[in-house]
Amino acid sequence: MLSIPVKSRESTIGVLRIYESEPQVFHEEDIDALCILGEHLGLVIENNGLRNFLDGVKTALGSLPLRLLEGL
């Protein structure tokens, strides 16, 4: 089994695990590529979280009366 952390900024937010039925020897370049994949997955997860947050803010602002939105 090979475990690669999925990171967002400095926090580990998940783990990418690769299971093999037979023992494997992974080349260092393969491990480096998988670590980069883990970092990219963290960016995608963070980006989707921010997008969901902004969608929630837009929805909340859309339900406010117009008089409260003046000056924003």
Domain for residue 72, yes or no? no
User: Residue 63 pLDDT > 90, yes or no?
Assistant: no
Domain for residue 18, yes or no? yes
pLDDT in tens, 11-38: 899 999 999 999 999 999 999 999 999 9
Residue in 28, 27, 34 with CA at minimum distance from that of residue 3:
34
Number of separate domains in the chain? 1
pLDDT for the residue numbered 61: 82
Please report the DSSP string for 9-67 in residue order.
Answer: TTEEEEEEEE--SS-----HHHHHHHHHHHHHHHHHHHHHHHHHHHHHHHHHHHTS-HH
Give residue 53's domain range: 2-63
Domain for residue 68, yes or no? no
pTM exceeding 0.75: no
Domain for residue 12, yes or no? yes
Domain for residue 58, yes or no? yes
Domain for residue 26, yes or no? yes
